[in-house]
Amino acid sequence: MTLIRVPQSWEISENQITPPEAYFNRRRFLKSLIGAGIGASLIPLNACQKSSSETALANSLKLPKLTAKTNPAFSQVDRPITEEMLAGKYNNFYEFGGTKNIWLKAQNLPTDPWKIEVTGLVKNPQTYDLDDLKKKFTLEERIYRFRCVEAWSMVLPWIGFPMKKLIEAVEPTNDAKFVRFTSFYDPEITAGPSFHLGSLPWPYQEGLRIEEMANDLAFFALGLYGHDLPKQHGAPVRMVIPWKYGFKGAKSIVKVEFVQQKPATYWNTLVPNEYGFEANVNPNKPHPRWSQATEKFISVGPGLSWEIKETLPFNGYGEYVKDLYS
Ligand code: MTE
């Protein structure tokens, strides 16, 4: 078993924190820009992205139907929806390993039964199972842009409910200023054979200001592409915060806690100078090791390929969230 040593931020090289495929692809991407010019390239990545088995992958996506009305305010964006078979094999879920190709290992995630505890500074603490969530909250579909801090992006059709509905249900007290979200963690299950978890700040946790959680865009997803959420995407319930980098969207949520102080979060604890707490998508603020001005938009298969697109401030959702940051 490989022991991952967490280096000091000043000694991290790009390929230590970013999964190797993303690292090498980024090198190719930068090279291609020199020859092709931004916006013109559609770069095939088949050489790097061999899926173990398309049939097994398709099976991992064959899940009970979950349908809901599409919210007309979020029924389309200016880009096509990413093909499901691409989104389902290009994931970040570090509990199951440090590469993009963790979809198979993620099938070990036990999702039934599932409980989410909603606790902390609230008047009505609750513990919900999945059926409770589906009954209590009206589900809707929303098509959102998704932007990873590694400068790749997709468009995904989520099914779930706005986080503000949970706030209404549990009634935070006036002392509640932040919210901490905790992902499932069991080192017996989540540690892949080549991925030692001991020295990393598990469980994966994320946080929001309570006003951010109350924003109309902030969403809990229980489904994707018209069915239950696949395990590789963070079944059975995950956060979706479309104006922030993807790492803010913690997967497989087991606990939501309303707290007074800003909570410590996974990536911010690990590499604070690279992954801020706020993490709003911002093309004008480069990551210390790469530009955020453009992104690699992944949409069509059968092989993995991308188009270079300009990154939009707040990932295109400025009109909804700008008041949060004035
Ligand atoms: N949540 C947990 N628990 N563990 C993770 O490793 N990765 C984050 C986020 N949520 C992660 C997580 C990152 S870096 C990204 S980009 C998105 O999940 C990826 O979501 P996707 O695999 O569904 O595209």
Query: What pLDDT does 231 receive?
Result: 98
In which band, very low, low, confident or very high, does the pLDDT at 252 lie, cut at 50, 70 and 90?
very high
How far does the centroid of ligand 1 lie from the alpha carbon of residue 168, in Å?
A: 27
- From the CB of 184, is ligand 1 less than 6 Å away? no
Neighbours of 260 (CB within 10 A): 12
Residue partners of 211: CB distance under 8 A and separation at least 6: 324
* Predicted confidence (pLDDT) at residue 203 exceeds the cutoff of 60: yes
Show the tokens assigned to 179.
Answer: 């919210």
Q: Note the pLDDT tens digit of each residue in 149-182.
A: 999 999 999 999 999 999 999 999 999 999 999 9
Q: Note the pLDDT tens digit of each residue in 264-283.
A: 999 999 999 999 999 999 99
How far does the centroid of ligand 1 lie from the alpha carbon of residue 251, in Å?
A: 6
CA–CA distance, 111 with 237 (Å, rounded to integer): 10
103-115 burial code (b ≥16 CB/10 A, e <16): bbbbeebeeeebe
* Predicted confidence (pLDDT) at residue 307 exceeds the cutoff of 90: yes
Nearest CA to ligand 1 atom 23: 233
- From the CB of 204, is ligand 1 less than 6 Å away? yes
When pLDDT is averaged across residues 142-147 and rounded to a whole number, the result is 98
In which band, very low, low, confident or very high, does the pLDDT at 304 lie, cut at 50, 70 and 90?
confident
- State how far the alpha carbon of 172 is from the alpha carbons of 36, 102, 221, in Å: 52, 36, 21
When pLDDT is averaged across residues 12-35 and rounded to a whole number, the result is 32
Topology, domain 68-325: Sulfite Oxidase; Chain A, domain 2 (3.90.420)
Distance of CA 160 to the CA centre of its chain: 15
In which band, very low, low, confident or very high, does the pLDDT at 198 lie, cut at 50, 70 and 90?
confident
- State how far the alpha carbon of 77 is from the alpha carbons of 47, 154, 217, 220, 227, in Å: 30, 11, 14, 19, 21
CA–CA distance, 296 with 299 (Å, rounded to integer): 10
How far does the centroid of ligand 1 lie from the alpha carbon of residue 178, in Å?
A: 21
How far does the centroid of ligand 1 lie from the alpha carbon of residue 123, in Å?
A: 31
The maximal CA–CA distance of the chain, rounded, in angstroms, is 59
How far does the centroid of ligand 1 lie from the alpha carbon of residue 44, in Å?
A: 23
pTM of the model: 0.86
CA–CA distance, 165 with 151 (Å, rounded to integer): 31
Query: What pLDDT does 192 receive?
Result: 62
- From the CB of 148, is ligand 1 less than 6 Å away? yes
- From the CB of 182, is ligand 1 less than 6 Å away? no
* Predicted confidence (pLDDT) at residue 30 exceeds the cutoff of 50: no
